[in-house]
Amino acid sequence: MSKITVPIGPQHPLLKEPLSFLVSLEGEKVTGSVLRLGYVHRGIEKLAEQRTYIQNIYLIERICGICSHIHSTTYCQSVEALLKLEVPKRGLYIRMLLCELERIHSHLLWLGVLAKNIGLNTLFMYAWRDREIVLNIMEEISGGRVSHSVNVIGGVQVNLNESHLSLLQQNLQELNKRVKEILRSIENDRSFQARTQKIGYLSLEDIKRYCVVGPVARASGLDIDIRRDAPYAAYDELNFEVPVMTEGDVWARSILRIHETLQAIRLCVQIINNLPDGPVSITAPRRVPAGEVASRAEAPRGEVFYYVRSDGSQNPARLKIRTPTLTTLITLPGQLKNMQLADVSTIIAGVDLCIACGDR
């Protein structure tokens, strides 16, 4: 069999963001792959050092177009910890609401991308149609579909009124029905199973060795979730389950993410039912006392880690961001080995990459 090297990326229909894979093929079998990163590196960590803490909220939100809110939440959390601010409960609840809406939006988007990559355009259209519900809710609440600018240091800058709550109630019910319908159709679809089962397998040891987090880790049997293990915001007041599966393939990741979407809808309903009264934010001083702090949150793709060091001025002295995509990226060459070319798209879609997060 002749050997061919196929470039996947930086521009390829399979990838929505620039990333480069050089896949060596022997016939249809993948013998090796070389990963290249950095096409969307914007130097955000350095930029953050030149801006004030408040300006940074909007900069940080631009790290990613899908999980923008979780980034600013984690950042605000760390600055609030430095300032020793007590954020009002209502503010925390609205933050959590947007986090969960964002999780639904991210998972449905991901499901669409996977479906598109394995040639199931119908599911792609359905998933993205249902995602519009969440986007509309978020637009109604914050004015933005993907970048919300909801967070400020000390709380949030939007408030929910009665019409928001009734809109949320209605739409979340409808969404719950539709996501269950998608889950049912996937579980019964033989051709979908044939394309995703036993593809991109990661064992529990691999997961621990590569420090993989999020749904990919949970699909391989690693039971971690920052929302439950180290509750931030007010997650300890809410009641939810963390789905875990043991198969470790793309199939498990798909089913797991849909179950997570259902849990996120459940969380949203709990949040709007138990929404406390009171202010949504408190005023924060502009200068942050010297010190350092680390903050963690559960993004749709797993744990986000922020480290902020302050020297007492208006600008942070150092901001370090660790996103979940970076760890999953490292597992890709191992997952691709000895797979078929047709499975490359499934595997790359299956781990849910967010290159913009990874490169920053």
Of the candidates 107, 150, 47, which has an alpha carbon nearest to the alpha carbon of residue 350?
107
Closest approach, Cβ 248 to another protein, in A, equals 20
Binding span for another protein by CB under 8 A among 8-16, 92-100, 204-212, 291-299:
8-16
Give the Cα separation of 61 and 68 in Å (integer): 5
Closest approach, Cβ 8 to another protein, in A, equals 9
Q: In the window 90-129, what residues touch another protein (CB under 8 A)?
A: 116-122, 125-126, 129
- Closer residue to another protein (CB): 269 or 341: 341
Decide if 359 contacts 42 (C-beta within 8 A). yes
Give the Cα separation of 305 and 321 in Å (integer): 6
DSSP state letters, 57-103:
HHHHHTT-SSSHHHHHHHHHHHHHHHHT----HHHHHHHHHHHHHHH
- Closer residue to another protein (CB): 217 or 348: 348
Tell me the CA distances in angstroms from 50 to 59, 155, 314, 315, 358, one per residue in order.
11, 23, 10, 7, 21
- Report the first-to-last Cα separation within the chain, whole angstroms: 40
**Residue 21 touching another protein (CB under 8 A):** no
**Residue 5 touching another protein (CB under 8 A):** yes
Decide if 292 contacts 310 (C-beta within 8 A). yes
Strand pairing report for 155-156 and 151-152: antiparallel
Task: Report the SS3 class of residue 346.
Answer: helix
- Closer residue to another protein (CB): 194 or 290: 194
**Residue 220 touching another protein (CB under 8 A):** no
Give the Cα separation of 161 and 7 in Å (integer): 51
Q: In the window 315-354, what residues touch another protein (CB under 8 A)?
A: 340-345, 349
Binding span for another protein by CB under 8 A among 9-17, 56-64, 74-82, 86-94:
9-17
Closest approach, Cβ 26 to another protein, in A, equals 12
Interface mask (CB under 8 A) for another protein, residues 238-267, using x and -? ------------------------------
- Closer residue to another protein (CB): 116 or 322: 116
Q: In the window 175-194, what residues touch another protein (CB under 8 A)?
A: 189, 191-192, 194
- Closer residue to another protein (CB): 14 or 269: 14
Residues forming the site for another protein (CB under 8 A): 4-7, 12-14, 25, 28, 116-122, 125-126, 129, 189, 191-192, 194-195, 340-345, 349
